[in-house]
Amino acid sequence: MTKVFALVPAKVTLFGEHAVVYGYPAIAASIPTYLRIEASFRGRGGSIARFEGVELRIPVKALGIGFDFAEIDKSYASRLAAYISKALELCSEVVGGLDSGLEISVESPLPPSIGLGTSAAVSAGVLACCAKLHGVDLGVEELASLAWRVEKEVQGAASPMDTATVCLGGIRLIEPSQRRYPLLRDSLEALVGYVPRVGTTASLVAMVKNLMGRAPSVFRAVMEGISEVVKASIEAIKQGNLELLGLLASVNHGLLRALGVVSEASDRVVHALREAGAYGAKMSGAGGGGAFIAFADPRKLEVLSEVVRALGAKVVSLKIGCPGISLGESP
Ligand code: MEV
């Protein structure tokens, strides 16, 4: 086997971000926008990774730090390299030691750090490719759980939401305390896009944690509110009730505002979508800008796409839900 590859979908959170970090349920979906991770043996020495989507080159040692940042945005490169390095470390644990460096390339149609699960996709893709090169076929559940470990160890805190969703695919209820991720529906029509983002998932999760410490009963109530939105949306998803999902999205957006994670750009886009006739919309992911999702009459999605593009946002998908990670061999 000379080269293996993984196609990993991005993901969008429908409801429940942030609360999911505290053990409340959430709902997330894979989206048919794929990162392609390729890996091959490199012989002796460290591993090398390239993130081609944003034209950067990161030499990474298989076990440990040792980056060369030529012409790279350092903070971004070190974050991505940290996920790759940790994924290789866990792969080494699983396969009983890496005796060769790997050459890894990551192609992504999405920029990193916008709340669409690129770090989860990279973590899962690198783990799966590395294991496959060593003749180990990780089951999708085990892969999701190892990729979650990568996220937790790199970020300090992370829910299993992103890694479970990109590995398993579909629209899923995430029950972190039971480690259950049941499928609610294969797919649905919705608009997913993003605006520029400031801050990282780790810094936003830490900011919310600080709020929880300052006024625990108040912010606990906000989290409970978010979890009620999640519960109400389960049936709406199963029935494809886009109108109710829009209403619930707007409520969830308001609750995320209470947590202080909604940027002005996200607010502008969400308002514009509602004004233009969406049933409802919300920011998605950790916040500070980044991803958003809107529910609307499917016939309006093209027009709504034009509305958000006019505001400078990017449109990623008009569909949510697709199969999870897949692996293959390249000649
Ligand atoms: C992840 O996209 C969003 C957060 O809920 C963090 C997590 O679930 O790990 C803020």
Say if strands 289-295 and 188-197 run parallel, antiparallel, or are unpaired: antiparallel
Cα separations in angstroms, 214 against 159, 218, 220, 308: 22, 9, 11, 36
The average confidence (pLDDT) of the chain is 89
Ligand 1 atom index nearest CA of 204: 10
Query: What percent of the chain clears pLDDT 70, i.e. is strictly above it?
Result: 89
331 vs 30, higher pLDDT: 30
pLDDT band at 54 (very low <50, low <70, confident <90, very high): very low
The pTM for the full model equals 0.91
DSSP state, residue 110? S
- Measuring from each residue's beta carbon to the nearest atom of ligand 1, which residues come in under 6 Å? 13, 17-18, 20-21, 115, 158-159, 161-162, 201, 205, 285-286
Average pLDDT over residues 302-319: 95
Does the structure show a pLDDT above 60 at 62?
A: no
**76-122 pLDDT, tens digit each:** 666 778 898 899 999 999 999 887 788 888 888 888 888 999 999 99
- On whether the CB atoms of residues 117 and 59 are closer than 8 A, the answer is no
d(CA 298, CA 260): 31
Best mutation site among 200, 201, 208, 210 for ligand 1 pocket (most ligand atoms within 8 Å of CB): 201
d(CA 282, CA 270): 6
Give the per-residue pLDDT at 45. Answer: 63
Please list, in sequence order, all residues whose beta carbon lies within 8 angstroms of the beta carbon of residue 22, skipping any fewer than 6 positions away.
212, 223
The one catalytic residue among 137, 162, 186, 297: 162
**198-252 pLDDT, tens digit each:** 888 888 999 999 999 999 999 999 999 999 999 999 999 999 999 999 999 999 9
Q: What is the dihedral of CA 139, 145, 149, 151, to 10 degrees?
A: 100
- On whether the CB atoms of residues 13 and 27 are closer than 8 A, the answer is yes
Give the HSE-up count for residue 160: Cα atoms under 13 Å, Cβ half-sphere. Answer: 24
d(CA 87, CA 147): 7
d(CA 230, CA 50): 38
Residue whose entry in the numeric block shows the structure tokens 């400078």: 312
Ligand 1 atom index nearest CA of 159: 9
- Cα 171 to ligand 1 centre (Å): 16
d(CA 47, CA 328): 21
Q: Is 186 a catalytic residue?
A: no
Q: Which residue(s) pair with 49 in the sheet?
A: 58, 104
